[in-house]
Amino acid sequence: MSCTIESIAQQDSHFSQGVFNQGYLNPGSYGIDDDDLFNATVGYRVQTKNLDGSPATTVLNVNGPLHFINSGVSLSVFNDKIGYLKTPGFNLGYSYIFELPAGKIGVGISLGMINSKYDSNDWRLPDGGTGDILLPTGDVEATTFDAGLGVYYTNNKFFAGLSCSHINRAAMTKASEKTTFGRTFYAMAGYRYVFGFTDNYEIRPSIYVSSDLGVGKYTLNAHLFYEKKYWFGLSYRLDEAVVFNVGLELIKNLKIGYSYDYFTTEIEKYGGGAHELLVSYRFSIVTEKRNNQRKSIRYL
């Protein structure tokens, strides 16, 4: 007698602070801000910290504008680890920005390579695994091409974006068992409401959805900003978690944010919550030749 069941699990990495890291999730957002600054963001997330092999993800994204051609560019490097599966990769991105009467819209694409590796050195197998020919005795690794698309709209008050990762359904054909990365769709939208005597407060409600059209995560966010330097946020991810988020600007253009996911499911009893850290820095790349300046009064 035999019995089979179907299980569905997370494949792409998830970030609770996704609305602050849209350069990694949506190629259409590259360089769409009004300033001339590049933005470098590093994110780290560990999920269900008390369980061995829990998902841990590290990402680096650098993106910024090329205003002279109405475009934006990006570089992303990432590493995702779940149990014995490691998935590092990188991509380069480009977006073209259209000026509209009431805002801007960016259309972007990301192209890169993604690697998938099963590290079997620490596998605990009965009888050394010799009884099952389907269990590999060594590492299984493959690398393939990966691509993503995105569209992003913003104005002074409202922003919205839609993107898709693994648009080409990247397949690891070199591995002994074929692995396919399914398309994951991301949708975000939010509104900025500024108030206070000097407009020093801002409330930013937003929604963040990720789905492979089979399983989805639906998150409602509310963030309160003070002078754009300090913020506190509260989020609810449907049937999964309540998220607490705080952040501040340490020095000019250097910001740090932290979030904690308290799971509302049974996994909270055994795995604990999720910790996530996000650090971003905005900087300028000077391309124009500066005018010569002299301090001596002889040249006045």
| Token representation of residue 23 | 């350069």
Residue showing tokens 């308290």? 262
What pLDDT score was predicted for residue 134?
A: 65
Residue 19 has φ and ψ, to the nearest 5°, of: -70, -15
Instruction: Identify the DSSP state of 54.
Output: -
Structure tokens at 195: 């108030």
What pLDDT sits at residue 172?
Answer: 73
What pLDDT does residue 44 have? 96
- Positive or negative, the CA dihedral 43, 48, 50, 51 is negative
Q: Give the domains, in start order, of the chain with CATH numbers.
A: 18-283 (2.40.160.60)
Hey, how many other C-beta atoms are within 10 angstroms of the C-beta on 264? 14
Which pLDDT belongs to residue 137? Answer: 65
With contact defined as beta carbons under 8 Å apart, do 124 and 147 qualify?
A: no
Instruction: State residue 7's pLDDT score.
Output: 66
Q: What is the tens place of the pLDDT at every residue in 128-142?
A: 555 566 666 667 788
Dist. CA 161–CA 208, nearest whole Å = 10
Name residue 100's amino acid. Answer: L
Beta bridge partners of 279: 42, 256
| Nearest C-alpha neighbor of 72 from the set 25, 106, 113 | 106
User: Nearest-5° angle of CA 46, CA 261, CA 190?
Assistant: 110
- Both tokens of 184, joined, read 């994951």
Which residue in 225, 221, 222, 223 sits closest to 196, CA to CA?
Answer: 225
Could you identify the residue written with the tokens 């963001």? 41
DSSP assignment string, 8-51: ----S---TTGGG-HHHH-GGGTT-SSS-EEEEEEEEEE-STTS
What is the Cα 45 distance to its own chain's centre?
10
Please, are residues 205 and 221 in contact by the beta-carbon 8 Å criterion? yes
**Spans in the chain with pLDDT lower than 50:** none
CB 107, CB 60: distance < 8 Å: no
pLDDT in tens, 73-97: 999 999 999 888 889 999 999 999 9
For residue 194, the number of C-alpha atoms closer than 13 Å in the C-beta half-sphere is 9
Structural tokens at position 156: 């002074």
- Give the whole-angstrom CA distance, residue 222 versus residue 16: 12
